[in-house]
Structure 1
Amino acid sequence: MDLSVPIPARDGGSAVAPAPRAGLTLAALSLGSFMIGCGEFGIMGLLPGMADDLGVSIPQAGLLVTGYALGVVFGAPVLAVLTSRWERRRALILLSLVFVIGNLACALSPTYGLLMAARIFTALAHGTFFGIGAVLATEIARPGREAGAIAMMFVGMTLANVFGVPIGTFIGQAYGWRAPFFIVTALALLTTLALALFAPQSHPRAGVRFRDELHALGRPPVLMAMGLSVLASSALFTLYTYIAPLLSEVTGIAPERVPYLLLIFGVGMTIGNVVGARLGDWKLMPAIIGMFAAMTAVLVGIYLFAADTVPMLTLLLIWGALVFGLASPIQMRIVATAKGARNLASTVNQSAFNLGNAMGAWIGAMLIASGASYSMLPVASAILAGLACLLALYSHRQDREDSSAI
């Protein structure tokens, strides 16, 4: 992907990123997404140890995922309003500093309650960072390559799952669950420095009222796209939040070997991030529909073969690819449909993703608390993925009907 030529913002803003600065800007954004991914997903492999140390049950520890997600849900719209007229480089730097403070507070929290509060505080900046960063990425991309530019930013998140989460799990098992949070704090400091050095000045549009942006945000295609975000992340987190105990208790993997399987899942995410972006730039909605259909089938496969190690390895790889194969196409769908409110919509979409995260972690917790086994979680995830596929089909049909009516 050639990002060497400065491209003006599609909504009338501006972004100046001459070569090779455009690439360095995307690298800084990718580092930020790597840092955020390590902080958000890193506790997945550490839940048993965290629960034991803090004196809570594993489902209660899993609610730390829900708390973080709800922090994103409520923080993204508020910060989107507060930063809507800020210079984007300055906004991204200040948001990355929130991650420095928040992750350090997580590492130092002595109780479950304080850790929950620190997780929520950290999460407040999550949605706005990704929202502003995704818009900036599309501004410096060539026309027709926007999904690829967003994928370049999200590659940091996939690498967090390939390397960050498994390594963090190893470190957490060896030195305690707090150690990974100290490492994420250092990554947040590096992100702040990289953004200060490389991010170009970029100004949102002037003279647009927030009320008009809200009106643009409320159009049916935008709302349906956000519904896809909610269902996609719900389908993921219903199962992924409890992937460590499922692998240990159902598949029979020794706890010290769980990071290796998480590594396989992360490799799949990396592959999916690249392939999904290319499919999205080719045919956006057919790609989304196809990946949701495939995800439903894979989750059914995980239910059927959860007790067999070799099939589980294959299914985890494919599941990871589909999970992040959908990320940039759905984000691009939001940007494409929310004309007149791209910055706000891109940010609020992170609330939609994380509302799904919270719902998924909660659904999983409620199922386990009601007596369901870990092996039933893939069934719930498959139902959610199937609903997303149906919604994507309906949205695509509405697009075609609207086009034929013009």
Structure 2
Amino acid sequence: MQAEQQQVPSPGATAAHLLTPRRELLLLLVLAGIQFTHILDFKIMMPLGPQLTEAFGIRDAQFGLLVSAYTFSAGLSGLLASVYIDRFERRTLLLVLYLLFALATLACGLAPTYESLMAARIAAGLFGGILSAMIQTIVADVIPFARRGKAMGIVMTSFSVSTVMGVPLGLYIAAHSDWHTPFIAIAGLSVALAVGGWLVIPSLHGHLAANAGSKALQGIATVVRDTNHLRAFAFSFCMIFAGFSIIPYITIYMQTNAGVLTSQIPLIYLVGGAATLVSAQLIGRLSDRLGKLKVLGVVACVAVLPMMLITLSAGLPLWGILIITTLFFVFVSGRMIPGMALVSAAANPAYRGTFMTLNSSMQSAAMGLAALVGGLVISRNPQGMIQYFWVCSLIAIGFNLLALALARRIRVHA
């Protein structure tokens, strides 16, 4: 895999040379903070599932649709953004979209009905749908491939922090206030991080020269004609589909079938998130040292076990459930660190923004379809217990193994 690496200059190379190690670290921390709020905005929906289904009197499938609406909207946003993303300076575009995302998240917190919450979630998806793609594009523009595994590990620590701190805190606030409050808090934090982003993120416009004079759709056509790009898109789709066949319904299953108390749910996210704070850094460093593909193969294969066990954990004591859920968080999220380093390096650097937004659309579509499929697969028996959750694990394992096969065929650029 490393032998196939092509040394293609990145449009962000000039900006990268201007960054001191301290400035680079601050950049990664701010990007991780932006990613944190974006991910938390999505992840907070899942542990709030029981509260939302009760508050609005909706079925599990309707809750799944609420989750899917955000991701489908985000996917559409990525498709639209692929037309213009490489035609604007990176920092300005990221922060404008981020502020609009904050406004939509505030609307979620103020939503009085299921329908208004659905509309606000769609708006949040439209503006927030390409934030991850923008962040990964900036990292790929600024950080050399040899150090990108560690950089991705820092940025993706946001997933862990959103789990270990954000989700339990959001649930605590919701329990002592109402479900509206976490969204309002996320919106406020987003505004503060946008100010920090303006101060820390460098101006990145090297890609503009490479796209000067090109037509709006020419970049998209160039990206989708590249078979290596298509393999990377398929890989991303399968990686995300594998995780989100299970993730949206973990809280509902744990409370309904496994007997975990509402007050104990934050403990699952606290322990799992704390473990991933450590594992994300380790996996990132090992990816740089041993090779992204090799580490991905090991982590993805180990992830198969908790994918199956988490859907069969009913009847276990709390400590057993915590072991399984922690392994799930560590290895299922851990796959994404070497995986996204590979994907970011699969792009032609001149069209990296377009590539990453199209990739984000694929990931959003995978999230939405997986959540929708999961909602259709599971059902309730007459006693109200979740049935057929184990089928979701088989679907997840199948897509996880398919992703591994696709990863071996991806060529990387510097």
Fold conserved between structures, TM > 0.5: yes
Of 201-210 and 107-116, the range deviating more from structure 2: 201-210
Residue of structure 2 in register with 1:131 after alignment = 133
Q: How many angstroms apart in 1 are the aligned matches of 2:229 and 2:24? A: 28
1:300 aligns with one of 302, 308, 312: 308
| Alignment RMSD | 2.4
| Mapped contact 2:105–2:120 kept (Cα < 8 A) | yes
Q: Secondary structure at the match of 1:200?
A: coil
Q: Secondary structure at the match of 1:124?
A: helix
Q: What aligned pairs does 1:59-208 form with structure 2 within 5 A after superposition?
A: 59-205=61-207, 206-208=209-211
The letter for the 1-side match of 2:395 is I
2:397 aligns with one of 371, 385, 389: 385
Gaps of 5+ in 1: 1-7
State percent identity of aligned pairs.
24
2:258 aligns with one of 233, 251, 257: 251
Q: How many angstroms apart in 2 are the aligned matches of 1:107 and 1:345? A: 32
Q: How many angstroms apart in 2 are the aligned matches of 1:239 and 1:390? A: 17
| Mapped contact 2:231–2:406 kept (Cα < 8 A) | no
| Mapped contact 1:221–1:395 kept (Cα < 8 A) | no
Residue of structure 1 in register with 2:335 after alignment = 326
User: Does residue 337 of the first structure (1) align with residue 349 of the second (2)?
Assistant: no
Residue of structure 1 in register with 2:321 after alignment = 312
Residue of structure 2 in register with 1:30 after alignment = 32
| Distance verdict in 2 for CA 1:109–1:304, change over 3 Å | closer
| Distance verdict in 2 for CA 1:9–1:173, change over 3 Å | farther
How far the C-alpha of 1:375 sits from its partner, in A, is 5.6
Of 174-183 and 144-153, the range deviating more from structure 2: 144-153
Residue of structure 2 in register with 1:5 after alignment = none
Q: How many angstroms apart in 2 are the aligned matches of 1:55 and 1:363? A: 21
User: Does residue 365 of the first structure (1) align with residue 375 of the second (2)?
Assistant: yes
| Mapped contact 2:234–2:406 kept (Cα < 8 A) | no
User: Can you list the C-alpha shifts for 1:310-362, whole angstroms capped at 9, x where unaligned?
Assistant: 32211111111112212232222222222242222222222222212111211
How far the C-alpha of 1:399 sits from its partner, in A, is 5.8
Q: How many angstroms apart in 2 are the aligned matches of 1:218 and 1:333? A: 19
Aligned residues: 393
User: Does residue 10 of the first structure (1) align with residue 17 of the second (2)?
Assistant: no
| Mapped contact 2:245–2:395 kept (Cα < 8 A) | no
Q: How many angstroms apart in 1 are the aligned matches of 2:270 and 2:183? A: 19
The letter for the 1-side match of 2:284 is A
Gaps of 5+ in 2: 1-7
Q: How many angstroms apart in 2 are the aligned matches of 1:157 and 1:50? A: 23
Q: What aligned pairs does 1:223-242 form with structure 2 within 5 A after superposition?
A: 223-242=230-249
* Bigger relative contact order, structure 1 or 2 (CA pairs below 8 A, ≥6 apart): 2
Q: Secondary structure at the match of 1:241?
A: helix
Q: How many angstroms apart in 1 are the aligned matches of 2:245 and 2:170? A: 22
Q: How many angstroms apart in 1 are the aligned matches of 2:125 and 2:279? A: 25
User: Can you list the C-alpha shifts for 1:8-32, whole angstroms capped at 9, x where unaligned?
Assistant: 9614664255223222221211110
The letter for the 2-side match of 1:384 is A
Of 171-180 and 59-68, the range deviating more from structure 2: 59-68
| Distance verdict in 2 for CA 1:197–1:162, change over 3 Å | same
Q: How many angstroms apart in 1 are the aligned matches of 2:399 and 2:194? A: 39
User: Can you list the C-alpha shifts for 1:64-107, whole angstroms capped at 9, x where unaligned?
Assistant: 11111111111012123223211111111101101221111101
The letter for the 2-side match of 1:347 is T
Q: How many angstroms apart in 2 are the aligned matches of 1:12 and 1:175? A: 45
User: Can you list the C-alpha shifts for 1:111-163, whole angstroms capped at 9, x where unaligned?
Assistant: 11111111111112334222222121233324401122122222222211111
The letter for the 1-side match of 2:141 is E
Q: How many angstroms apart in 1 are the aligned matches of 2:70 and 2:226? A: 28
Q: Secondary structure at the match of 1:81?
A: coil
Q: How many angstroms apart in 1 are the aligned matches of 2:223 and 2:247? A: 34
| Mapped contact 1:276–1:325 kept (Cα < 8 A) | yes
TM-score (norm 2): 0.87
| Mapped contact 2:74–2:125 kept (Cα < 8 A) | yes
The letter for the 2-side match of 1:18 is L
Q: Secondary structure at the match of 2:112?
A: coil
The letter for the 2-side match of 1:91 is L
Q: Secondary structure at the match of 2:344?
A: helix
| Distance verdict in 2 for CA 1:246–1:288, change over 3 Å | same
The letter for the 1-side match of 2:264 is R
Q: Secondary structure at the match of 1:347?
A: helix
Q: How many angstroms apart in 1 are the aligned matches of 2:13 and 2:130? A: 17
How far the C-alpha of 1:272 sits from its partner, in A, is 3.6
